[in-house]
Amino acid sequence: MAKGTAAGVLSSTEVNYLIYRYLQESGFHHSAFTFAHESQVHRCDIDPNLVPPGALVTYVQKGLQYLEAEANIDENGEVDADFALLDPRDIITKDLDELRMLALEKKEKQAEKSAAAAARQERAEKARDRAERKRERAAQQEQERAKAAAAAAGTSSAAAAGAAPSQQQQQVKEELPPNGLAAGAADEAAAMEEDTPAASAAPAAAAAAPLPPGGVDVTNVETLSGHDNEVFICAWSPMQLLLASGSGDATARIWDLSAGADHSKALVLRHQAADSEKPKDVTTLDWNHDGSLLASGSYDGMARVWTREGVLKLKLQRHNGPIFSLKWSKKGDMLLSGSVDKTAIVWDAKTGDVKQQFEFHSAPTLDVDWRNNNTFATCSTDKAIHVCRLGETRPIKTFTGHTDEVNAIRWDPSSKLLASCSDDTSAKVWSMARDEPVASFSQHTKEIYTIKWSPTGPGSANPSQQLLLATASFDATVKLWDVEGQGLLHSLEAHTEPVYSVAFSPDGKLMASGSFDNMLHIWNVADGKLLRSQQADGGIFEVCWSKVGDKVAASTSSKTVMVVDLRR
């Protein structure tokens, strides 16, 4: 190196020599000769043997790294632990202040991504923990019921040995199916031991608990088996006796339950994971208006569209997190999805293209619902409800009144009123003409998981009947509300565990409820009386009615779907 140069500083002669060596090493011999002649590097006193190959590139790289480190120095003069890597071109073309701004922006983006990833991981872990707790609780309850049934059977046997059956006992015996309840239970136990085929349409075993008057006869019940994990969702086709189910085994299935069809077989819609990822839960299902297409949402962040014959038609990929809600537009030409990634997306149902992505929430979007063919509502864990319109870049209305996560939203049949329910234990009804709710119901004591409007009143197929709102809560009750009168009509209190689903019959006269106490209850809407009950073989996540109202399906934690025929 040249003498008289300050430590750590290259003289122009040294820089010229490094360039000369770079040109030589790179094969630019003519350029190297010309540059050496013009810069006169041959006159410098640098020992060529002390300069390693590639010295110029090494110096440049170290200089870039130094500038990068300098841009990441905090106000205390220390390099941040969350070091932000910068583009070499930015380092060369921007001054130090600009580089520090770039580094700060990158750190903020990295922090957001890390926080989002951590939140997704936490939600996934919570979901797994919740599912595990449900399974453990279901197993414990099953053991308790088995012990109670065994004790009751022992008591009955002892009594029967010493006395003749009473008139009431004789009447019950005559009403039993030909093979008897005990025989049905024994047959089911034998079938389980023999590891029967995955799908079975055999009648379910009778409930150990006594049924109320009018209880469903076990001969009216089918158990659809085939899923390998919990069945979270079920949905009837609006046109045919086709039932769709979605499970934690990463499949949806379509069951043909029409007369003469083989109820033990189903079309299996496999949700293959991208790359090497493990397949994820199917979280939501929705049929289009004519029952020709089925849309499914998954925990893998992808929506899919299938034909009713089970053929995959479209894959809709844009979300960066699990899809919790998916709805067809009223005309069936668009799909609306809501995701953990905080956004809602409107898709073209013919091409699969994104028509618009709405990024208005600050936390996961939990539910979406169309108002008409270009307007819809979304709700989120951020406690807000937005009403959005295609083509608009901001919500056309925002409702803020809940003090905790908003779990579900539904427009009434007239599309004038929007109902919402929340972890704050309240349900509210909103109008586009007001900022404050037109009604607020707070008689539940725990979180309200879901809500449903009755298919009655203006805009419905039953316009002469009163419009009602049903709420289902973790306090194990279902409540029916008169929205116009803003009063509680009936509090339905037969469940003993959280109620996850309610559904009105198509004529609005009956209502089904499903709970994690394994019970499906059928209620009379007019007087709130319990009409029929059926025990499932696991906790119930979802209940739904067939188009004509003669069948109720319930998806369960025991990997099965129970179908009750109410008119057989």
Q: Give how many domains the chain has, as a whole number.
A: 1
Helix (H) or strand (E) segment spanning residue 127: helix 96-162
User: pLDDT > 70: what percent of the chain?
Assistant: 73
Q: Please check whether residue 72 lies inside any domain of the structure.
A: no
CB 381 within 8 A of CB 363: yes
Residue with tokens 């499970």: 247
Q: Please check whether residue 40 lies inside any domain of the structure.
A: no
Q: Residue 445 CB: number of other CB atoms within 10 A?
A: 11
Residue with tokens 């089911």: 188
Q: Which of 310, 384, 307 is nearest to 349 (CA)?
A: 307
DSSP result, 243-309? EEEEETTSEEEEEE-STTS-TT-EEEEE-PPSTTPPP--EEEEEE-TTSSEEEEEETTSEEEEEETT
Q: Which has more confidence, 506 or 29?
A: 506
Report pLDDT digits (tens) over 374-391.
999 999 999 999 999 999
Q: Which is it for the CA torsion 143, 145, 148, 150, positive or negative?
A: negative
Q: Which has more confidence, 497 or 187?
A: 497
Q: What is the SS3 assignment for 318? A: coil
Report pLDDT for 138.
Answer: 55
CB 427 within 8 A of CB 471: yes
Please determine, for residue 26, whether its predicted confidence score (pLDDT) is greater than 90. Answer: no
Q: Please check whether residue 163 lies inside any domain of the structure.
A: no
Least confident of 33-42, 108-117, 207-216: 207-216
Q: Please check whether residue 282 lies inside any domain of the structure.
A: yes
Please, what is the end-to-end C-alpha distance for the chain in angstroms? 100
Please determine, for residue 10, whether its predicted confidence score (pLDDT) is greater than 90. Answer: no
Report pLDDT for 122.
Answer: 54
Residue 508: is it exposed, middle or buried by C-beta count within 10 angstroms (0-12/13-18/19+)? buried
- What does DSSP assign to residue 535? E
| Structure tokens, 31 | 């350029």
Q: Which has more confidence, 553 or 171?
A: 553
Q: Please check whether residue 476 lies inside any domain of the structure.
A: no
Residue with tokens 């799908």: 199
Q: Residue 474 CB: number of other CB atoms within 10 A?
A: 19
What is the identity of the amino acid at 263?
A: H
Report pLDDT digits (tens) over 518-538.
999 999 999 999 999 999 999
Report pLDDT digits (tens) over 79-90.
565 556 666 677
Q: How confident is the model at residue 163 (pLDDT cuts 50, 70, 90)?
A: very low
Structural domain boundaries, residue 312: 185-317+536-568
Mean local confidence (pLDDT), 188-212: 37
Q: Please check whether residue 285 lies inside any domain of the structure.
A: yes
Report pLDDT for 157.
Answer: 52
| Structure tokens, 382 | 């951020």
Residue 553: strand pairing partners: 544, 563
Q: How confident is the model at residue 310 (pLDDT cuts 50, 70, 90)?
A: very high
| Structure tokens, 452 | 């449903």
Q: Please check whether residue 167 lies inside any domain of the structure.
A: no
- Starting at the edge strand found earlier in the chain, the sheet holding 468-473 runs 448-453, 468-473, 478-482, 487-492
